Structure 1
Amino acid sequence: MPRVVRFHDYGGPEVLRIEHADVRNPGPGEVRIRVKALGLNRAEAMLRTNIYIETAPLPSGLGLEAAGLVETVGEGVEGLAPGDAVSVVPSRSMVRWPAYGELAVFPADLVVRHPPSLSWEEAAATWMQYVTAYGALVDIANLNRDDFVVITAASSSVGLAAIQIANLVGATPIAVTRTSAKKQALIDAGAAHVVVSDEEDLEARLGAITGPEGVRVVFDPIGGPSFGPLTAVMARGGILIEYGALSPEPTPFPLFAVLGKSLTLRGYLIHEIVADPVRLEAAKAFVLDGLGSGALRPIIARSFPFDQIVDAHRFLESNDQFGKVVVTV
């Protein structure tokens, strides 16, 4: 019987258990994969603590990203065959399609044959970060070479993906990070400018970088008090795309900046790309092209073996990582 990860109570990383359990055969339009690596995401920690947009009935599996070999294909699946090396675009429900296990079932339209140049760890670290950043910056904001884009939580996997995508389309990425500990690493990762928000005046520094033009695009997973300085430096007609809620503090609505500059504040989750077949295919093509050219390359913070899934989740929540946390199976 294959091993899977489940939790029987909500709580910290210690609630995760490795258990032996049957993994169902793929249904119509599904694929079962023998997993080689997993990509870890904040969403999984949120599901585990019962603060996610999806509620897990207990006991529950979890996990959004995996890479491995196709083992079995369900009825009606075309273009995939047993033995194919694949990775997985995050599904709309990790409760229905949990990734954490030696075997896992996914919708076939989310299973992608990735470039052979990627390792299993890199393949498992690909789709959440790049599709999330692509959907916001390219699909929604139409980022281009004349734009400044502010990327907060820049040392996260999605933040680093956004830096790479900004450079790919010719925009100027401005990375925002809390401390100077990761400043040089962000420059090395392609940030044109780095602002250290705990040590610098965020509004003044962004204003000095962008000048009177201001920032057309802000990409933020934090919320909270930073909405004030961020919107203060935005260009007329600019767009702030919010894809998370990491700040424990209230998020003020910047009424006068929004009114005075005709700003758009846009909530966004990867699910809106995944749920739209046309937008999803465009995202896959963009990411595969970027991976093929080398313009996009996943940055791995640390890799853990499957037996250390609890330690991997502790590290995920430490905020010490630079890039993606992965688990090898």
Structure 2
Amino acid sequence: MKAILMTTAGEANVLKVADIAEPQLSSPTDILVRLKAAGINPIDIKLRSRGTFHPHRLPSVLGCDGAGIVEAIGAAVTKFKVGDAVYFCNGGLGGHQGNYAELTTIDEKFAAHKPQSLSFEEAAAAPLVLLTAWEALYDRARLQANHHVLIHAGAGGVGHVAIQLANIKGAKVCTTVGSEAKARFVRDLGAELAIAYKQVDFVQAAMAWTKGKGVDIAFDTVGGKLIEQTFAAVSIYGDLVTILEPPADLSWKVARTRNLRFSFELMLTPMLMGDIDLQVQQAQILKECAELFDQGKLKIHVSEVFKLEDAAKAHQLLEAGSMTGKLVLAS
């Protein structure tokens, strides 16, 4: 089968199209999926440039997100049948084969039926960002109706989904954006306030929006010094969740003074730690999100679709920054 191989860590040109052996069912609960599309995420860029979590197993196939059609099933599979359309976040970290390929295998416990209302490209763009935003807002920050939420980079992959998930719970959302086009985009998704951070102090804007209280929840998808800057925008006893590692020289003084609750969100943890129960929980989240998609309460924005063999070009575009929504590879 055709796949995109990463033979060494480096620039985007280390990704090469190649013919590799088709994966085989290795467990009675495995399903074989004919991939129609694979989502591209920042973790793919990091693994490609720095090395995977299993560097001794190169060459490797990247890509955590996938969507496709079940082509074969193990003897104990009960959740799916041949011909079913599925989507999932599985593999692509250097161990189990990723989804920049024509076929993959996955335990049925970790997959969900594809939302009927989404194309395969849209479905492949969704899992990682859905799980990240869901866990950050619902599980870490314990989001409630009428909470005021600040989401950084609301037009991005995680951000544009987070806005919608917050709205679904009845929260009010403000978000930082870098252009008027992105401001229109996030307002269409339900953001009450779009903060043009290049022209406006986002802390002052958030404080004015909350009448001096500060937001109940801040969700950081950018990292760096922005984490520290955001402390002052959060209400006393509020929550800040980040998907990035804070810099070593970050000052925690404001966070401590305001008695903030600080959380990390890494939706890859269940896969990295081999925690089957948590992986099953994530598949259940995808099932619930599929219902939200099909009810018209949730949507995913795909900015551009690339052919599988153009994976390097897609990586270069994502690395350039300022993305709206997601990029996808179509098999």
Calculate the TM-score normalised by the size of structure 2.
Answer: 0.91
Amino acid at match of 1:300: V
Give the alignment partner of residue 289 of structure 2, picking from 266, 287, 291: 287
Is the Cα contact below 8 Å between 2:112 and 2:287 reproduced in 1?
A: no
Amino acid at match of 2:268: H
Relative to structure 2, which stretch is displaced further, 53-62 or 170-179? 53-62
Is the Cα contact below 8 Å between 1:224 and 1:251 reproduced in 2?
A: no
Amino acid at match of 2:5: R
Residue in structure 2 matched with residue 225 of structure 1 by the alignment: 225
SS in structure 1 of the partner of residue 50 of structure 2: coil
Amino acid at match of 2:152: T
Is the Cα contact below 8 Å between 2:4 and 2:309 reproduced in 1?
A: no
Residue in structure 1 matched with residue 5 of structure 2 by the alignment: 6
Q: Offset at 1:57?
A: 3.2
Question: 2:136 matched to 1:136?
Answer: yes
Q: Once superposed, what is the RMSD of the aligned Cα atoms?
A: 2.2
Question: 2:269 matched to 1:267?
Answer: no
Residues 91/61 of structure 1: CA separation in 2 closer, same or farther (3 Å cut) = closer
Residues 50/233 of structure 1: CA separation in 2 closer, same or farther (3 Å cut) = same
SS in structure 2 of the partner of residue 112 of structure 1: strand
Relative to structure 2, which stretch is displaced further, 250-259 or 133-142? 250-259
Structure 1: state its 5+ residue gaps: none
Q: Offset at 1:324?
A: 0.9
- The 5 Å alignment of 1:149-164 reads 149-164=149-164
Is the Cα contact below 8 Å between 1:175 and 1:195 reproduced in 2?
A: yes
Relative to structure 2, which stretch is displaced further, 102-111 or 52-61? 52-61
Question: 2:305 matched to 1:303?
Answer: yes
Q: Offset at 1:68?
A: 0.8
Residues 186/55 of structure 1: CA separation in 2 closer, same or farther (3 Å cut) = farther
Is the Cα contact below 8 Å between 1:88 and 1:111 reproduced in 2?
A: yes
1:72-108 CA distances to partner (integer Å, 9 max, x unpaired)? 2234322112111111134484531311101112232
Separation in 1, partners of 2:41, 2:281: 22
Q: Offset at 1:138?
A: 0.9
Residue in structure 2 matched with residue 15 of structure 1 by the alignment: 14
Q: Offset at 1:131?
A: 1.3
Separation in 2, partners of 1:273, 1:298: 24
Amino acid at match of 2:102: E
Residues 107/244 of structure 1: CA separation in 2 closer, same or farther (3 Å cut) = farther
Separation in 2, partners of 1:92, 1:228: 31
Is the Cα contact below 8 Å between 2:129 and 2:158 reproduced in 1?
A: yes
Residue in structure 1 matched with residue 101 of structure 2 by the alignment: 101
Question: 2:167 matched to 1:167?
Answer: yes
Relative to structure 2, which stretch is displaced further, 71-80 or 31-40? 71-80
Residues 167/201 of structure 1: CA separation in 2 closer, same or farther (3 Å cut) = same
1:168-218 CA distances to partner (integer Å, 9 max, x unpaired)? 111111111244452222222321111122221122111111123211111
Is the Cα contact below 8 Å between 1:149 and 1:216 reproduced in 2?
A: yes
Is the Cα contact below 8 Å between 2:113 and 2:287 reproduced in 1?
A: no
Percent identity for Structure 1 against Structure 2: 27
Residues 325/42 of structure 1: CA separation in 2 closer, same or farther (3 Å cut) = same
1:98-126 CA distances to partner (integer Å, 9 max, x unpaired)? 11101112232221112222111111112
Separation in 2, partners of 1:174, 1:54: 39
Is the Cα contact below 8 Å between 1:175 and 1:191 reproduced in 2?
A: yes
Residues 231/52 of structure 1: CA separation in 2 closer, same or farther (3 Å cut) = farther
SS in structure 2 of the partner of residue 11 of structure 1: coil
Question: 2:252 matched to 1:255?
Answer: yes
Separation in 2, partners of 1:12, 1:277: 31
Separation in 1, partners of 2:25, 2:90: 17
Separation in 1, partners of 2:254, 2:51: 31
Is the Cα contact below 8 Å between 1:25 and 1:32 reproduced in 2?
A: yes
SS in structure 2 of the partner of residue 294 of structure 1: coil
Residues 108/150 of structure 1: CA separation in 2 closer, same or farther (3 Å cut) = same
Amino acid at match of 1:303: V
1:11-49 CA distances to partner (integer Å, 9 max, x unpaired)? 111110110010221211322111111111111111111
Amino acid at match of 1:302: E
Calculate the TM-score normalised by the size of structure 1.
Answer: 0.91
Relative to structure 2, which stretch is displaced further, 182-191 or 200-209? 182-191
SS in structure 2 of the partner of residue 200 of structure 1: coil
1:122-154 CA distances to partner (integer Å, 9 max, x unpaired)? 111121111111111112212122211111122
Residues 320/213 of structure 1: CA separation in 2 closer, same or farther (3 Å cut) = closer
Residue in structure 1 matched with residue 238 of structure 2 by the alignment: 238
Is the Cα contact below 8 Å between 2:225 and 2:250 reproduced in 1?
A: no
Residues 281/327 of structure 1: CA separation in 2 closer, same or farther (3 Å cut) = closer
